[in-house]
Amino acid sequence: LQSWLKGDILPNLTSYITRVTDSFSVLFDILKNFGLGMIVAVYLMIGWEKFGAQAKMIVYAMFPKKAAEWIQYEIHFTDRMFSGFIHGKILDSAIVGIICFIFTAFTGMPYALLVSVIVGVTNIIPFFGPYMGMIPSALLILTSSPWKCLVFLVFIVILQQIDGNVLGPRILGETVGIS
């Protein structure tokens, strides 16, 4: 035991301690940033109406009344469009995730729920999101069966075509107000 301690542990003790302290330092930074983010988010949510009123006063102070009213209308319009898009995209992604779960569960693919959650969540990201979800999901299925992985890849491509050309435009068109 003494030779093991003197030969292996003590010479490397400095590097072990450095690694542990670096790990704690990184963990502390993450917790600190998370805590500060939560404090700022709560502060902004509590003062949301006050900040909106102050921004409105600034706009009316800087611009003539007609221009300020136009700016305020455009800000409200932009808010409606963005929130409509976000709500529609979340609904669309949930539907895609449910369709993916039904298919993967029906075909007996491994990790059906996990794969469907990954596909549904990454579908929120426009353009590249569906493919970002397809890659790790396909790798998960590949660990079990290459044939099922190929079937899954073909299914995801077909699902994304249907989502991008039929489902997405209908949902997003209704929530944003575009035909």
Which residues, other chains included, contact 87 with Cβ-Cβ below 8 Å and sequence gap of 6+? Answer: 175
Q: What is the pLDDT of residue 7?
A: 77
Query: In whole angstroms, how far apart are CA 39 and each of 4, 44, 45, 98?
Result: 49, 9, 10, 35
> Using CA atoms, how far apart are residues 74 and 115, in angstroms rounded to an integer?
40
Q: What is the pLDDT of residue 177?
A: 77
Structure tokens given for 3: 């030779």
Q: Report percent pLDDT > 70 for the chain.
A: 100
Structure tokens given for 45: 């949510």
Residues written for the chain: 179
pTM equals 0.69
Q: What is the pLDDT of residue 4?
A: 76
Q: What is the pLDDT of residue 123?
A: 94
> Using CA atoms, how far apart are residues 65 and 67, in angstroms rounded to an integer?
6
In the chain, which ranges are continuous DSSP H helix?
A: 2-4, 10-46, 48-62, 65-106, 112-122, 129-142, 146-162, 168-176
134 within 8 A of 120, measured Cβ to Cβ: no
Q: What is the pLDDT of residue 19?
A: 87
Q: What is the residue-level pLDDT of the chain in tens, covering all 179 positions? A: 778 777 777 777 778 888 889 999 999 999 999 999 999 999 999 998 999 999 999 999 999 999 999 999 999 999 989 998 899 999 999 999 999 999 999 999 999 999 999 999 999 998 888 889 999 999 999 999 999 999 999 999 999 999 989 998 888 888 777 77
> Using CA atoms, how far apart are residues 159 and 167, in angstroms rounded to an integer?
10
Q: What is the pLDDT of residue 114?
A: 95
85 within 8 A of 62, measured Cβ to Cβ: no
